[in-house]
Amino acid sequence: MTIQAFANIALVKYWGKQDATWNVPLTGSLSVTLAPLATHTRLMAADHDQLWLNGEPVPLPARMQRVLAQAREMGGARDPLRIDSHNHFPTAAGVASSASAYAALAFALLAPLGADLKDISRLARLGSGSASRSVYGGFAEWLPGTSHPDSYAVPIADEHHWPDLRVLVALIDAGTKPVSSTEGMARTVATSPLYPAWPDTVARDLETARQAILEKDFERLGEVAEANALAMHATALAARPAVLYWQPQTLALLRHIWTWRHAGLACYATMDAGPNVKLLCREKEVALLLHHLQDAGVNEVLVCRPGAGPRVLEEGHACK
């Protein structure tokens, strides 16, 4: 049985943990699940736990061992497993796959037990915080909670709610290894003089984003998503030493997006713990934006739309 799960992009960011061992965040966050950025995962019996990534054996990460241990505590996957995971992203470069990977794994481990999506979200969270949101199609909000049992995501609206919404992932070749999100947020929480303002910002932005999604108010959602991303990067930049994910091309693109928007093209930017820029827009603007992006020197763009939650793939879609 092969499970497919999609990545997601946060419109209100998760940035800071209250419990690093259990991946319990300091604030809520909200995202849209992105098709076609999929991971396909298949579990098979083996003589010891092992991970195969895109067809190659790789060391089993500590976070994955933790997910397996927790699933076993819940009565799943008793015997040793081979986890076969394939990222079916149009390109492997520059797009985080941990959300889709852990959502697919948690679903594969718990769905056979009849677990509900809350349980699956909690388990996915142990692998990667943002994965807690990829267990739903469309729009999801991760409720921070205070400990493992009450920290999980809930759905806001499914993948059919806003069919013309698009996210363009503009891939920027950084050539440098970014600081991991875990390290970046830990340093920000511990040292950034701007971090104390972050929880209130998130609370307000969550309210605005939730409403904008339900009303399909594109400008409102775009404005809050862009402002929230910039605020997150501002907290990181003020950390000591600074956590800076942007490359010159990131900033250049942000300025282009502002110019295009001021000229009447409805598009907004968001960025995560890396140099890539994601543009929020509507289907009718995609062709022109792709043109502009090419003129701006962006060579690779992934066009994404609201995607479904994890599902069992039909025979014939199985991992190669």
Among 50, 54, 182, 191, binds ligand PMV (CB under 6 A): 182
Asked if 28 and 206 count as a contact pair (C-beta separation under 8 A), the reply is: yes
- Contact between 179 and ligand PMV by CB under 6 A: the answer reads no
Among 27, 98, 228, 249, binds ligand PMV (CB under 6 A): 98
Asked if 126 and 103 count as a contact pair (C-beta separation under 8 A), the reply is: no
- Contact between 33 and ligand PMV by CB under 6 A: the answer reads no
Q: Which amino acid type is present at position 33?
A: T
- Contact between 130 and ligand PMV by CB under 6 A: the answer reads yes
For 75, phi then psi, to 5°, come to 100, 5
**Closest approach of Cβ 17 to ligand PMV, in Å?**
9
Quick one: which segment of 66-74, 126-134, 216-224, 276-284 binds ligand PMV (CB under 6 A)? 126-134
Among 2, 3, 14, 309, binds ligand PMV (CB under 6 A): 14
By residue count, the chain amounts to 320
- Contact between 129 and ligand PMV by CB under 6 A: the answer reads yes
Among 141, 205, 226, 272, binds ligand PMV (CB under 6 A): 272
Conformational region of residue 17, where left means phi above 0, alpha means psi within -120 to 50, and beta covers everything else: beta
- Contact between 97 and ligand PMV by CB under 6 A: the answer reads no
**Closest approach of Cβ 316 to ligand PMV, in Å?**
32
**Closest approach of Cβ 156 to ligand PMV, in Å?**
15
Helix, strand, coil in percent for the chain, rounding step 5:
40, 25, 35
Give the CA diameter of the chain: 61
Q: What angle do CA 316, 317, 318 make, to 5 degrees?
A: 90
**Closest approach of Cβ 173 to ligand PMV, in Å?**
19
**Closest approach of Cβ 150 to ligand PMV, in Å?**
18
Quick one: which segment of 68-76, 123-131, 214-222, 254-262 binds ligand PMV (CB under 6 A)? 123-131
For 218, phi then psi, to 5°, come to -60, -45
Task: Compare residues 129 and 137 and give the one whose CB is closer to ligand PMV.
Answer: 129
- What residue spans of the chain are helical by DSSP H? 62-73, 98-110, 117-127, 181-191, 198-215, 218-237, 248-262, 286-295
Instruction: Please give the Cα distance from 91 to 113 (Å, whole number).
Output: 34
Asked if 61 and 296 count as a contact pair (C-beta separation under 8 A), the reply is: no
Task: Compare residues 51 and 126 and give the one whose CB is closer to ligand PMV.
Answer: 126
Task: Compare residues 2 and 8 and give the one whose CB is closer to ligand PMV.
Answer: 8
Interface with ligand PMV (CB under 6 A): 10, 13-14, 29, 96, 98, 128-130, 181-182, 272-273
